[in-house]
Structure formats: C-alpha cells, structure tokens
Amino acid sequence: MANKPQQPPHLHLAELSATQFIDIWNHFDTDGNGYIEGKELENFFRELEIARRGAGVDPSNSTFREKMKEFMQKFDKNADGRIEMSELAQILPTEENFLLCFREFVGSSSEFMAAWRRYDTDRSGYIEANELKGFLSDLLKKANRHYDDQKLHEYTQTILKMFDLNGDGKLGLSEMARLLPVKENFLLKFQGIKLTSEQFNAIFAFYDKDGNGYIDEQELDALLRDLYEKNKKEVDTKNLIDYKKSIMALSDGGKLYRSELEIVLCREPML
C-alpha cells in the first residue's frame, strides 16, 4: 500500500484504540500475510524499544538479537518465530481489548464454527456487517464489557478493516478464522486443498450415496481422509478428529448439508 505512513502511527504504550491498533498492525505487517516476521519483526522490535526506552537498539548489535529472543520467548505463544495478531494484542495495551475478549468467547475452532453458524443468519456463507454487529455485541456482553452504539460501530468497522481481505464489506469463513490462534485454525490446514465447484460436486455426490443432500459424521471422516490422500498429505488422527468436530459444528443436528461443507472446502481462497 503506497500510502503507508513512514513513521509507525502512535507506537506508544498508552492505551490504544482499536483503530490505532490496526494502524500499527498494518504498518508492520507490510506484506499483509497476517504475521509480523523476519525484517518486519526487527523493525517492530526496534520501534518498540524506542517507545519503551526512548532509544533504539542497532539490529546488527548482538544485544539486539538477545533482547529480541527474550521478547519472543515471552510473547510468541505458539513459538513459530513470528507475531500474529492475537499475540500483538497482548503486547500492546489496546483499549477494551476486544481481540482478547474474542479469544475468551471462542476458545476452539469448533466453538468458532458453532458461533459462525449462529451469526451467519441468512446462511450465505458470509457474515455481513449487520450480522457482525450482533456477533460483537454478544461477545462484549459475555465478557461483561460496557459499550455504546458508537463503540460497537467502531469495533465492527475495525474488524472489517482487519479481516476483510478482499474488501467486499463482509467476512468469509477463512477471513474470520484469522481471529483464531493459528494452532486452532484448522482452516489453515486445508491450505492447498481448495476444490473447484465441479470437484466438490463430484466428491459430495460420491459420499452422499442416497442423494438426500447431506452427509453424516462417518461419511465426513471418509471424505476428509480421501482428500488428504489425494493431496498426499499425512493424516494425523488426532487432528482429523478435531477438524471433523469443527466442521460438524456447522451441521444441523448431525446432518452436514452441501452448502455448509462447501463453505469450508471451496467457497473462498484460503489465506
């Protein structure tokens, strides 16, 4: 983005508004891949040191590496050597920290999928701005956070700014799933296994033997194993159980309809 400010916006350690938090995120995640890593991480840590101590550290200095290592041990919760959005939310004191508040509300990907099903009221496979407002309003109530309509509007816009990657004003499942901790985000595990409509129709018809428009948990198990095999990916049984549970959270009383499964397997480009 050509209009990025040269100076990081407000990297001070007073309480940030949700909007300032996003400005900082966008400033440092220069390639927009959802992580602050490599050179971006060095820049971020250097600016953070200036904000904390009033003086920077030269990245070529060995103490810089040492300090950065300590910093990562403290904040890089999943130890993947990079900072994701939820980790940044714990580093910077964000007003009403609604990202962490989301984490308390949705602790696992199956809870996330159940929440998705509840708020995608028109079953479009997307959460539009008005549905997102309902989602955030419930989230803040559950976390006993006080908010007014203006705040709710700001949070809704902020979440859209953060996660609406294609700018269509609504959130697809994989966009919204960036709110999940990476290790919980089973959708990321499907990277590289996105099906075209034709492939999806063929595979669904194969498993929906009686043609009633839905499959059950056993059939889903077979379908996922088949997908993994076709894509030469190793099946980790524990992970498979978790993914299955997450996808079944979208189902209607154990019946997983075509449209629900389509959202997961081919509705939108993965990140």
Q: How many C-beta atoms lie closer than 10 Å to residue 33's C-beta? A: 11
251-271 tens-digit pLDDT: 888 888 888 888 777 755 433
Residue that wins the pLDDT comparison between 176 and 201? 201
Q: Report how far apart, in Å, the C-alpha atoms of 168 and of each of 130, 165, 230, 271 are.
A: 14, 8, 33, 16
pLDDT exceeds 60 at position 200: yes
**34: closest CA among 91, 87, 84?**
84
Q: How many C-beta atoms lie closer than 10 Å to residue 125's C-beta? A: 17
Q: How many C-beta atoms lie closer than 10 Å to residue 190's C-beta? A: 21
11-37 tens-digit pLDDT: 655 667 767 777 888 889 888 777 899
Helix (H, G, I), strand (E, B) or coil at 94: strand
Q: How far apart are CA 98 and CA 119, in angstroms?
A: 18
Q: How far apart are CA 139 and CA 21, in angstroms?
A: 19
Domains defined for the chain, CATH in brackets: 18-91 (1.10.238.10), 97-178 (1.10.238.10), 186-265 (1.10.238.10)
Q: Model's pTM, two decimal places?
A: 0.55
